[in-house]
Amino acid sequence: MGKVFNTTADCKPQLHYMVDIGGRLEEMKSLVAKGEYFTINRARQYGKTTALRALKKVLDKEYLVVSLDFQKMGDTKFRNENIFSIAFAKLFLRSIRGSGSEEILSDLIKNHSDSLELLELFEKLSDICAASLKPVVLMIDEVDSATNNQVFLDFLAQLRAYYIDRDVTPTFRSVILAGVYDVKNLKRKIGGGEVRKVNSPWNIAADFNVDMSFSVPDIFGMIAEYEKDYHTGMDVGYISSLVYEYTSGYPFLVSRLCQIMDERIAGNEGLPDKAAVRTKEGFLEAVKILLSEKNTLFETLVKKWQNIRN
């Protein structure tokens, strides 16, 4: 079975038509090589998870990459310091299987199941960084899952403190946090009211200026691969320009338009096989379908707008 356009979860090069993000990965790798602490804040379905997973593969030869996803922890894991520390240690442990440092965390979890504090957790994380044969890179996806949570703020404070002292205390070579929201603007509840608090990591975080939107050449490369497989006769440059014009390069919208054209427009209008995707009429019909459908991006935007109005 051939490749398809994908708009759910991360994109995989062997399964999906996708933009070549090699240049973006090199930019991110250079930040890691400099030992930077940086955050990737982009809207939903903007390619953050795809980029992180691809970056891990790029870095694996030179670094021990600890890739975590805070969505896997759930709200209950942030109830207090002990529960969070145990949950984080277990998640971290699964990510470093085979590295030779598992025993450090295994013993910690076994001996402190009821009383593990963040200070003790970070001491052991430091031991792992010291014992590792390769520099350790920490990636956390969906980091903003922990909104309005004091334990998470305390975790960030510890992370910052160890990063600042990295010249004297073994710690992560680089830290990468990814999420929809800029976590320096997270709110925490104090005494029943909500107070904005700027979290401590943000005077050390490097600027992340990598453009993750899709340009016309990006879209051209993806559609050209599709055309090579199906020989529809489309003008790839023209269709790519149309896609960009109607989406401004928003990754989900680009992929969703292409997906609709392939799955719902191709073969219509009395044209054979997938030839309908080559016409402007077919493209505009795909736009009409996109604007009228319910999808996760539009539903999220509507909810956010309703929250703002209320």
Tell me how far apart the alpha carbons of residues 294 and 310 are, in angstroms, rounded to a whole number.
22
Q: How confident is the model at residue 190 (pLDDT cuts 50, 70, 90)?
A: very low
Mean pLDDT of the chain: 84
pLDDT for residue 229 is more than 80 = yes
More confident residue, 24 or 202: 24
d(CA 157, CA 187): 15
pLDDT band at 309 (very low <50, low <70, confident <90, very high): low
Q: Name the CATH topology of 20-203.
A: Rossmann fold (3.40.50)
Indicate if the pLDDT at residue 275 is higher than 70: no
By CB atoms closer than 10 A (0-12, 13-18, 19+), residue 152 is buried
Neighbours of 238 (CB within 10 A): 12
| Ordered DSSP codes for 158-175 | HHHHHHHTTTTS---SEE
Taking only the tens place, the pLDDT of each residue in 16-45 is 999 999 999 999 999 999 999 998 888 777
SS3 85: helix
Whole-angstrom distance, CA of residue 277 vs CA of residue 283: 7
DSSP letters, 199-239, are -GGGGTPBP-----SPPHHHHHHHHHHHHHHH-----HHHH
Question: How many CA atoms lie within 13 Å of 215's alpha carbon, on the beta-carbon side?
Answer: 8
What long-range pairs does 25-29 form, CB within 8 A, spacing at least 24? 25/51, 25/54, 25/55, 25/58, 27/210, 28/55, 28/176, 28/210, 29/55, 29/58, 29/59
- What percentage of the chain carries pLDDT values higher than 70? 82
Q: Domain coordinates of the chain in residue numbers?
A: 20-203, 214-298
Region of residue 100 (phi > 0: left; psi between -120 and 50: alpha; otherwise: beta):
left
The first and second tokens of residue 208, run together, are: 């992340």
- Encode pLDDT of 123-174 as tens digits: 999 999 999 999 999 999 988 776 667 888 889 889 999 999 999 999 999 9
- Provide, rounded to the nearest whole percent, the portion of the chain with pLDDT above 90: 53
Confidence class for position 74, pLDDT limits 50, 70, 90:
confident
Q: Are strands 37-41 and 16-17 parallel, antiparallel or unpaired?
A: unpaired
Where do the H-state alpha helices sit in 18-149? 22-33, 48-59, 81-95, 102-111, 118-131
Distances in Å between the alpha carbon of 58 and those of 24, 30, 133? 11, 11, 18
The C-alpha atoms of residue 30 and residue 58 are separated, in whole angstroms, by 11
pLDDT band at 264 (very low <50, low <70, confident <90, very high): confident
pLDDT for the residue 167:
93
| pLDDT over threshold 70, residue 201 | no
Say if residues 169 and 136 touch (Cβ distance below 8 Å).
no
Q: What does the pLDDT average to over 62-70?
A: 94
